[in-house]
Structure 1
Amino acid sequence: MATPLNIIFAGTPDFAAQHLAALINSEHNVIVVYCPPDKPAGRGKKLTACATKLLALEHNIIVEQPINFKNEAEQKQLAEYNADIMVVVAYGLLLPEVILNSPRLGCINVHGSILPKWRGAAPIQRSLEAGDKKTGVTIMQMDKGLDTGDMILTAECVIENTDTSASLYEKLANLGPTALVETLSLMAEPNFQAMDHNVAQDNELATYAHKLDKAEAELDWHLNADELDRKIRAYIPWPVSQFTFTESEGKQHRLRVWQASVQEYQGSSIPGTILKADKQGIEIATTKDAIRLEVIQLPGKKALAVKDILNGRSEWFTVGSPINKLG
């Protein structure tokens, strides 16, 4: 019979907190939660706790907040919890080998892709941007590499052509906790042997999900409409795809795009040319087909359907003109 595991949990955002909640509600025991130090947030720059800390305190679980694990005292303190396993979900720190080897069963991680594809910081966004048809979560045994450890269990989901990073995040946040609890149940069996269950990653198939950069959010109309559509969906809710609009007197505005769709177009207009501007949206020529902007956000304003923006700014979007310049 499996014995409940004593768990150290390490994580930061809401995605991690949802996994922590599943562990709290499982047969296993979360004995301590590790998360980063509180950070200033909001206009008042008030120190604010992350989602995992708030959930841990709500359930009277001990919270530790080291800056990193380079200090021997912090390494010793973690070892003294004498945990069976450490579960790491979106923690944001690379763990030194001494920490990885500290618990009896080592450290496992919940990663938001089907490894070895999209190792790294932004797997959800990069899978969407690349046009992948499916993604999922991988529960892996952590090693000293970046998302290179042996895979214990995977769970998949379909990427719909309407998914944004926000909606895909929610799918994985529902998928991951179940896969994690299933993995722990497997590892809690007295006869569990990693060599019988774990699968090594094929490094030849690995791709890397680079961290997002604000500069990537600039829309390039010389991409084709499919590429632009995927980019727009991948960058919601951050950094949000955008373009610069210049008025005739030279004043510039940054317009964010929150919703768009691909439209068939076989004409020869220069990429970036406005083809239509009506209640359906603003259609723009690309190198293949057209992209229709349907919900956009003017500087300092809330996001609105294009039909509402055209009521007051129709002169900005003249058919036949470049989208980045008035007239």
Structure 2
Amino acid sequence: MAKIVFMGTPQFAVPALEALIETQTVVGVVTQPDRPAGRGQQLRPSPVKVLAQQAKIPVYQPASLRREETAEPIRAWQPDIIVVAAFGQILRPHLLQLPPHGCLNVHASLLPRWRGASPIQHAILAGDTQTGISLMQMDEGLDTGPVYVQEAIPIHPHETAASLHDRLAKLGGEMLRRYLNDILNGHFTPTPQDNTQATYAPMIKKEDGLIRWEKTATELDRHIRAMTPWPGAFTHWHNQLLKILAAQPVPDFSPTGEPGLVITWQETIAVHTGQGLLMLETIQPAGKRPMSAADFARGRPDFINSKLGEL
């Protein structure tokens, strides 16, 4: 079994670490420092740290790995390869060149499509019908290294970023079980990416959840699903935040009304968009629990014929 150093932080990385613990010798885990979380803002360890501690694996939590001396604890572990999954920091040459077999990244897209920090959300936003996992040799670029192997899965019509995240995380772990030994034994030759086909998936920010009603109903459906669970898709009503948790598009509805106008349609609550209707299923008014849009409208009849998105 190979000596592995694993670098990862969020829940996405946990199945990959589980696979390595079961099939290799994990000599150390590198993860981001504990972060304040929750209402009390108490320091909370990353999911990867929790698993590593349960497995009694040494954990290193550098704030940054930019300086060469910060790699000393990793060098002391003498890994054969470093496996990376959603670590959250760019690796410099002094780390990339440290292990004999370099650094292998578990990336949640079919590279070169969706290089970057948020490939899962951007695949849904773009209406892609499939995505997958790429096991790639890391270089100094942003997800630009050659790819050892890829496996694709379909993106279902009602897929959210949450459900797709979980399926891809599981696939990443399965692929490490299937392919890592062959990669280490030289049975795979990594294939350079076609840079002319590259697309980019910049990190999703909180403000990206804002719904722009002038977009089509199909685009807004993708938007809501891509922003679930974080940052959540939201609009404004009566100067208050209104989260849209679930909706269904009616793309060929006509005539069109003013984007953002709330109406009743076939016993449902719907909103005019730039093209088509968006039927609201589950919403969450500010300071309240999630509820059906119909229940909300029964309690607030002024919701009908109001305009969403105006502050």
Task: Give the TM-score category using the shorter length.
Answer: over 0.9
Matched position secondary structure for 1:88:
strand
The partner residue of 1:289 within 276, 288, 296 is: 276
The partner residue of 2:17 within 1, 20, 37 is: 20
Contact 1:260 1:295 in 2 (8 A): yes
The partner residue of 1:312 within 285, 299, 309 is: 299
The TM-score with structure 2 as length reference comes to 0.95
Q: Which residue pairs with 1:209 in the alignment? A: 201
Q: Which residue pairs with 1:274 in the alignment? A: 262
The partner residue of 1:255 within 242, 245, 260 is: 242
Contact 1:137 1:172 in 2 (8 A): yes
1:103-114 to structure 2, matched below 5 A, reads: 103-114=99-110
Q: Which residue pairs with 1:54 in the alignment? A: 50
Asked if residue 178 in structure 1 is aligned to residue 174 in structure 2, the reply is: yes
Q: Which residue pairs with 1:6 in the alignment? A: 3
Task: Note the C-alpha offset of 1:279.
Answer: 5.3
Q: Which residue pairs with 1:249 in the alignment? A: none
- Say what the alpha-carbon RMSD is for the aligned residues: 1.7
Shift in CA distance, 268/32, structure 1 to aligned 2, threshold 3 Å: closer
Q: Which whole-Å CA distance do the structure 2 matches of 1:93 and 1:14 have between them?
A: 16
Contact 2:234 2:241 in 1 (8 A): yes
> How many equivalent residue pairs?
310
Asked if residue 197 in structure 1 is aligned to residue 189 in structure 2, the reply is: yes
Matched position secondary structure for 1:110:
strand
Q: Which whole-Å CA distance do the structure 1 matches of 2:170 and 2:275 have between them?
A: 36
Q: Which residue pairs with 2:234 in the alignment? A: 242
Q: Which whole-Å CA distance do the structure 2 matches of 1:35 and 1:139 have between them?
A: 20
Contact 2:256 2:275 in 1 (8 A): no
Contact 1:278 1:307 in 2 (8 A): no
Unaligned runs of 5+ in 1: 247-251
Q: Deviations over 1:186-205 (max 9, x none)?
A: 1232xx16xx6211000000
Q: Which whole-Å CA distance do the structure 2 matches of 1:47 and 1:261 have between them?
A: 39
Q: Deviations over 1:124-150 (max 9, x none)?
A: 000100000100110100000010000
Q: Which whole-Å CA distance do the structure 2 matches of 1:317 and 1:268 have between them?
A: 16
The TM-score with structure 1 as length reference comes to 0.90
Asked if residue 322 in structure 1 is aligned to residue 310 in structure 2, the reply is: no
Task: Note the C-alpha offset of 1:43.
Answer: 2.3
Contact 1:86 1:106 in 2 (8 A): yes
AA aligned opposite 2:54:
E
Give the greater-gyration-radius structure (CA): 1
Matched position secondary structure for 2:48:
helix
Say which is worse superposed, 40-49 or 145-154, in terms of deviation: 40-49
Q: Deviations over 1:256-303 (max 9, x none)?
A: 0000111131114222222316753x2122222111111100001111
AA aligned opposite 2:263:
L
Q: Which residue pairs with 1:102 in the alignment? A: 98
AA aligned opposite 1:160:
H
Asked if residue 138 in structure 1 is aligned to residue 134 in structure 2, the reply is: yes
AA aligned opposite 1:73:
E
Q: Which whole-Å CA distance do the structure 1 matches of 2:116 and 2:85 have between them?
A: 13
AA aligned opposite 2:286:
P
Q: Which whole-Å CA distance do the structure 1 matches of 2:52 and 2:309 have between them?
A: 49
Asked if residue 228 in structure 1 is aligned to residue 220 in structure 2, the reply is: yes
The partner residue of 1:265 within 246, 249, 253 is: 253
Q: Which whole-Å CA distance do the structure 2 matches of 1:126 and 1:146 have between them?
A: 16
Identity %: 37
Q: Which whole-Å CA distance do the structure 1 matches of 2:242 and 2:280 have between them?
A: 11
Q: Deviations over 1:172-227 (max 9, x none)?
A: 012111112222121232xx16xx62110000000110111222222111111101
